[in-house]
Amino acid sequence: MATIIYISLAFLLIFCVMAVMSHSLLKSAIYLALASATLGVILYVLGAYWAAVIEVSVCSGLITVIFISAISLSKIKKEEVQKLYSDKKRMWFLPVMLIVVGVALIVLALANDLSLTNTAEKVTEDFREIFWNTRQADIIGQIVTILIGGIAVFVLFRDDEDKK
Amino acid sequence: MLNFQTIMLFVGFLMIIAGCYCMIRTYHMLKIIIGIEVAMKAVTMFLILAGYMNGHMGLAQAYVITAIVIEVIVAVVFAGVTIGLYKKYGNMDIRNLTELKG
Amino acid sequence: MNGWILITGILIPLLGALLLPLFGKLSGKFRNIMALTFVTTAFILAVCALTGVLADKPFSARYVLPLGFSFGFLGDALAVFLAMTASFVSCIIVIYSFGYIHEYENQNEYYMMVCLFVGAMMGLVYSTNLIAIYTFWEISSLCCWRLIGFYREEITIDRANKTFIITVLGALIMLVGFMGIYSQTGTFDLTEMKGAYIPSWCVVLILFGILSKSATIPLHSWLPDAGVAPSPVTSLLHAAVLVKIGVYAYARFFVLTFEINEAFTTIVPVIAAVSALYSAGVAFRENDIKRVLAYSTISQLAFILLGLSCGEKIGIIGGLMYIMAHSVAKGGLFLCAGIVEHNIHTKDIRKMGGLAKTMPLTATAFALCACSIMGIPPFFGFFTKHMVIEGIVSSGNIVLGVLFVLCAVMTVMYLIRLFVKVFFGQQTFSEVKEGTPIMVVSVLILGIISLLLGFFSFLPSHLATMIWGLM
Amino acid sequence: MFNSIGEFLCHGANLIIFMVALPAICGILLWLFQKQYIVKLVIAILSSVTNLIFALGLSLHNEFFTRVPYAPFEFEFLFRVYDLCALFIVIAAVVFVLITLYTVIYSKKKHYGGLYLLYLYISFAMVNGALLSDSLGSMLFFWEGLLFPLFGILLIKNNNNPKTAVKTLTLVGLSDLLLMLGIIITSHTAGTQNLSEIENLAISGNGMLGFICIMLGALGMSGCMPFHSWIPNASDDSPTVFMVAFPGALQVILGVYLALRTVLDIYGFVPGSGISIIIMALGSVTLVFAAAMMLIQNDIKRLISYCAISQLGFLVMGIGSGLTDGIVGGLHSLIDYVFYITGLFMISGIIEKQFGTKDLRQLSGLLKRIPATMVCFIIFLLSVVGFPGFNGFLSKELIFNASLKTNVIFYICALLGTFLTALSFLRMGMSLFFEKKNAPSEIKKESKSSVGMLIPVVILSSLCIGIYSQNGLVEYALGIGKIAGVTFALIVLFAAAVLLAVFDYIYGYKKSGNALNCANHIIYAPGIKRVYKSAEKGYFDPYNWLIALVGGFSDICVRMEHGVSWVYDKAVPGMVNKVGLALHRFDNGRLSRYLYLVIGGLVFITFVFIIIK
Amino acid sequence: MNYLNYAGEAFLLIPLSAIFLNNICNKRFIEKHFHILTGAVALLQMIAAVFAFYIMDANQMLNFDFSVFGSSKITGIELFDINPVSLVFLFCIGMVAFVSVMISIRTIDVKKGSYVNLLMTLLIGMNGMVMVSDLFSLYVFLDVIGISSFVMIAMFRSRKGLEGSIKYLIISEIASIFILMGLSFISMKTGSLSFKDIGRNLLTNTFELQTILIYAAIILMIAGFSIKAGIVPFHSWLPDAHQSADTSISVLLSGIVIKIAGIYGIYVLTNIFGGIKAYQVSLAGLGIISVVVGALLAACQSHFKRIVAYSSVSQMGYILLGLSTGSTLGIVGAVAHVFSHAAFKSTLFTNAAAIHEQTGTLEIDEMGGLQSRMPVTAFSSTIAFLSTAGIPPFAGFWSKLLIVMALWGSGNQILAGFALCASILTSAYFLRLQKKVFFGKTPEHLSSVTEVTGSIKFAEILLTAVTCIVGVLFPLIIIFLHSRGLI
Domains, chain B, in order of start with CATH, read 4-99 (1.10.287.3510)
When pLDDT is averaged across residues D11-36 and rounded to a whole number, the result is: 81
Number of domains in chain C: 1
C351 contacts chain D (CB < 8 A): no
Task: Report the Cα C181 to chain-centroid distance in Å.
Answer: 26
Cβ of B100 within 8 Å of Cβ of E177? The answer is: no
Distance between B14 CA and the closest CA of chain D, angstroms: 15
Q: Note the pLDDT of residue E190.
A: 82
The span from the CA of E319 to the CA of E330, in Å, is 9
Distance CA D520, CA E362 (A): 85
Given its phi and psi angles, is residue D73 left (phi above 0), alpha (psi -120 to 50 degrees) or beta?
A: beta
User: Which residues of chain B have a CB within 8 Å of the CB of D596?
Assistant: 24
Mean pLDDT, residues D423-431 taken together: 85
Contacts of E482 (CB under 8 A, 6+ apart): C65, C66, C67
The Cα of B1 is separated from the nearest Cα of chain A by a number of Å equal to 7
Which of E21, E127, E130, E148 should we substitute to test contact with A (largest number of A Cβ atoms within 10 Å)?
E148
Give all strands (DSSP E) within D30-109, no chain letters.
Answer: 64-68, 77-81
Inter-chain CB proximity C157 and E435 less than 8 Å: yes
Nearest by CB to D589, from B23, B24, B97: name it: B97
- pLDDT score at D474: 62
Phi, psi torsion values for D526, nearest 5 degrees:
-60, 140
Are C103 and C342 spatial neighbours (Cβ–Cβ below 8 Å)?
no
As a whole number, mean pLDDT of residues E443-470 equals 88
CB atoms E240 and B101 under 8 Å: yes
Residue E352 domain-assigned (yes or no): yes
Q: CA nearest B101: which of E289, D580, E306?
A: E306
**Three-state SS for D35?**
coil
Tell me the chain D residues in contact with residue B99 when contact means C-beta distances shorter than 8 Å: 589
Cβ-Cβ contacts under 8 Å, D557 against chain C? 277-279, 281-282, 284-285
Q: How far apart are CA D204 and CA D227, in angstroms?
A: 25
Closest approach of B57 to chain D, Cα-based (Å): 30
Q: Do C66 and E405 touch (CB under 8 A)?
A: no
| Maximum distance among all Cα pairs of chain B, rounded to whole angstroms | 55
Regions of chain A short of the pLDDT cut 50: 162-164
Burial D540-577, CB ≥16 within 10 A → b, else e: bbbbeebbeebeebbeebbeebeebeeebeeeebeebb
CA distance E291 to E330: 16
Whole-angstrom distance, CA of residue C236 vs CA of residue C89: 8
Most confident of D380-389, D484-493, E63-72: D380-389
CA distance E388 to E430: 9
Establish if A158 touches chain E: CB-CB under 8 angstroms. Answer: no
What is the C-alpha end-to-end distance of chain B, expressed in Å?
Answer: 51
In chain E, which residues have their Cβ closer than 8 Å to the Cβ of D598?
Answer: 171, 174, 223, 227, 233-234
pTM above 0.95, yes or no: no
State percent of chain E over pLDDT 90.
51
Q: pLDDT tens digits, residue range E7-63?
A: 888 888 899 999 998 888 888 888 888 888 999 999 999 999 999 999 888 888 888
ipTM entry: 0.92
Has residue C289 been placed in a domain? Answer: yes
| pLDDT at residue D56, as a whole number | 84
Quote the pLDDT of residue E74: 53
For position D136, what pLDDT does the model report?
87
Please give the backbone phi and psi of residue D81, each rounded to the nearest 5 degrees, phi first: -110, 125
Question: Phi then psi for D323, rounded to 5 degrees?
Answer: -85, 155
Q: Give backbone dihedrals phi and psi of B17, rounded to 5 degrees, phi first.
A: -60, -45
At A164 the pLDDT is 42
Give the sign of the dihedral formed by CA E173, CA E179, CA E182, CA E186.
Answer: negative
| Among D593, D597, D605, beta carbon nearest to E219 | D605
Q: Which domain holds residue E443?
A: 274-487
Instruction: Average the pLDDT over each of C348-362, C422-436, E222-236, E362-376 and give the range with the smallest value.
Output: C422-436
What are the tens digits of pLDDT across the range E75-100?
556 778 888 889 999 999 999 999 99
Residue E148 lies in a domain: no
**DSSP bridge partners of D201:** D267
D582/B contact by beta carbon, under 8 A: no
Query: Are chains D and A touching, using the cut-off of 8 Å on CB pairs and a minimum of 3 such pairs?
Result: no
Exposed, middle or buried, C322 (CB in 10 Å: 0-12/13-18/19+)? buried
Tell me, yes or no, whether E147 lies in a domain: no
D chain contacts of residue B94, beta-carbon cutoff 8 Å: 590-592
Containing E195, the helix (H) or strand (E) segment is: none
For residue E340, what pLDDT band results from cuts at 50, 70 and 90? very high
- Facing A48 at nearest CB: one of B33, B60, B70: B60
Cβ–Cβ below 8 Å for E392 and C66: no
* pLDDT higher than 90, residue E68: no
Q: Span E345-365, mean pLDDT?
A: 90
Nearest partner of C444 among C383, C359, C341, judged by Cα? C359
pLDDT for D180 beyond 80: yes
Phi and psi at E64, nearest 5°, equal -140, 125
Closest-CA distance, E149 to chain B, in angstroms, reads: 11
- Rounded to whole angstroms, the Cα distance separating D520 from D525 reads 8
Burial label for D3, CB within 10 Å (0-12, 13-18, 19+), is: exposed
Contacts of B97 in chain E (CB under 8 A): 163, 166-167
E205 has a pLDDT exceeding 70 = no
Asked if B38 and A16 touch (Cβ cutoff 8 Å), the reply is yes
Write the burial class of residue A35 (CB in 10 Å: 0-12 exposed, 13-18 middle, 19+ buried). Answer: buried
Mean pLDDT in residue range D520-541? 82
CA D78/CA E186 separation, integer angstroms: 89
- Specify whether the CB–CB gap between D58 and D14 falls below 8 A: no
Task: Output the CA–CA distances (angstroms, integers) from residue D237 to D164, D310, D353, in the order listed.
Answer: 8, 21, 14
A118 interfacial to chain E (CB closer than 8 Å): no
C212 in Cβ contact with C169 (< 8 Å): yes
Helix (H) or strand (E) holding D268: none
Q: Are C241 and C140 in contact (CB under 8 A)?
A: yes
- Between chains, do E297 and D584 touch, taking CB under 8 Å as contact? yes
How many domains, chain E? 1
Q: Is the Cβ–Cβ distance between D154 and D243 less than 8 Å?
A: no
**Do the Cβ atoms of D504 and D498 come closer than 8 Å?**
no
Q: Smallest CA–CA separation between E224 and chain D, in Å?
A: 9
Against chain C, the chains showing at least 3 CB pairs within 8 Å are D, E
**Chain CA centroid to CA D290, Å:** 14
Q: What domain range is C431 assigned to?
A: 266-471
Residues of E in contact with C65 (CB under 8 A): 475, 478-479, 482
Handedness of CA C88, C89, C95, C101 (dihedral sign): negative
Residue E158 has pLDDT above 50, yes or no: yes
Give me the residues of B, 2-61, that contact E with CB < 8 A.
6, 9, 16, 19-20, 23, 29, 32, 36, 39-40, 42-43, 46-47, 49-51, 53-56, 59-60
Cβ(C146)–Cβ(C21) below 8 Å: no
Q: Taking CA E384 as the corner, what is the angle to CA E378 and CA E386, rounded to the nearest 5 degrees?
A: 100
Which residues on chain B place their C-beta less than 8 Å from a C-beta of chain D?
A: 20, 23-25, 32, 94-95, 97-102
Q: Which residues of chain C have pLDDT under 50?
A: none
| Any D CB within 8 A of C81 CB | no
Q: With an 8 Å Cβ cutoff, are D75 and C413 in contact?
A: no
Q: What is the mean pLDDT of residues D542-561?
A: 91
State whether residue E484 sits within 8 Å of chain C by CB: no
pLDDT > 80? residue B51: yes
Instruction: Considering only the beta carbons, identify the residue of E424, E441, E487 that sits closest to C67.
Output: E487
- Domain for residue C166, yes or no? no
Residues of D in contact with E303 (CB under 8 A): none
Tens of pLDDT, residues D317-345: 888 888 888 888 888 888 888 888 888 88
Nearest CA-CA partner of B92 in A33, E163, E146, A90: E163
Please indicate whether, in this complex, the C-beta atoms of C424 and D181 are within 8 angstroms of each other. no
The CA distances from residue E243 to C387, D335, E161, E329, E351, in Å, are 62, 91, 9, 34, 14
Residue E172 lies in a domain: no
Average pLDDT score over residue span D412-436: 85
Is E440 within 8 Å of C154 (Cβ atoms)? yes
C86: Cβ contacts below 8 Å, ≥ 6 apart:
C118, C121, C122, C125, C240, C241, C244, C327
- Which element (helix H / strand E) includes E233? none
Tell me the sheet residues that pair with C63.
C71
8 Å CB contact of E234 and D591: no
Question: Chain E partners of A151 at a C-beta cutoff of 8 Å?
Answer: 114, 117-118, 121, 151
In terms of CA atoms, which chain B residue is nearest residue D586? B102
**Amino acid in position E396:** G
D238-242, D259-263, E223-227: the lowest-pLDDT one: D238-242
| Share above pLDDT 70 across residues of chain D, in percent, rounded to a whole number | 93
CB–CB of A120 and E191 under 8 A? yes
Please give the pLDDT value at position D537: 82
Neighbour subunits, B (≥3 Cβ pairs < 8 A): A, D, E
Residue D79 phi, psi dihedral angles, 5° rounding: -120, 150
pLDDT in the model for residue D484: 59
- For C382, the closest of D144, D209, D556 (CB atoms) is D144
Interatomic CA distance for residues E168 and E239, integer angstroms: 10
Cβ pair C34, C16 in contact under 8 A: yes
Alpha helical stretches, state H, D358-438? 371-385, 391-406, 408-429
- D140 to chain C: closest CA residue: C377
What local confidence, expressed as pLDDT, does residue C458 receive? Answer: 85
The phi and psi torsions of D68 (rounded to 5 degrees) equal -95, 120
Please report the pLDDT score of residue D597 as a whole number: 92
pLDDT tens digit sequence for E267-286: 999 988 888 889 999 999 99
- Answer whether B touches C (≥3 Cβ pairs < 8 Å): no
Q: DSSP of D475-500, one letter per residue?
A: HHHHT--PPP---HHHHHHHHHHHHH
Q: Does the pLDDT of residue E425 top 70, yes or no?
A: yes
Predicted pLDDT of residue E273: 87
Highest mean pLDDT among B10-14, B98-102, C255-259, E472-476: B10-14
Judge whether D310 and D291 are in contact, CB under 8 Å. Answer: yes
Kindly tell me if the per-residue pLDDT of D468 is higher than 60.
Answer: no
Specify whether the CB–CB gap between E456 and E102 falls below 8 A: yes
Q: How far apart (Å, rounded) are the C-alpha atoms in residues D485 and E380?
A: 94
| Inter-chain touch C135–E423, beta carbons under 8 Å | no
Determine the distance in angstroms separating the CA of A134 from the nearest CA of chain E, rounded to an integer: 7
